[in-house]
Copies of this chain bind each other. A is one copy, B any other.
Amino acid sequence: MQKRSETNPMKLDHILDKIYPLPLPSKQLLLQNITEVNYPKGHILLSADKVEHSIFFIKKGIARVYTRTLDHEITILFCKEGDTLVSMKSYVLNQKGYEDVALLEDSELYELKTEKLQKLFAKDISIANWARRFAEKELIKTEERFIARQFRTAKERYQEILRDHPDLIQRVQLSYIASYLGITQVSLSRIRADRS
Interface residues on A, range: 20 to 34
Given A128-B129, A132-B131, A139-B142; A147-B92 close (CB under 8 Å): no
Confirm or deny: A74 has a beta carbon within 8 angstroms of a beta carbon on chain B.
yes
A182 to B144, CA, bound (A): 16
Among A92, A122, A143, which residue has the most Cβ atoms of chain B within 10 A? Answer: A143
Pick the residue among B125, B133, B135, B144 that contacts A139 (CB under 8 A).
Answer: B135
Residue in chain B with minimal CB distance to A140: B88
List residues of chain B with CB within 8 A of the CB of A93.
Answer: 140
A178 to B128, CA, bound (A): 40
Within the complex, the shortest CB–CB distance from A195 to chain B, in Å, comes to 25
A144 to B133, CA, bound (A): 20
List residues of chain B with CB within 8 A of the CB of A27.
Answer: none
List residues of chain B with CB within 8 A of the CB of A98.
Answer: 143-144, 147
Q: Which residues of A are at the interface with B, using a C-beta cutoff of 8 A?
A: 67, 69, 74, 76, 88-89, 91-93, 98, 121-122, 125, 128-129, 131-133, 135-140, 142-147, 149-151, 182
5 tightest A-B contacts by CB?
A132-B132, A135-B135, A139-B139, A128-B128, A92-B136
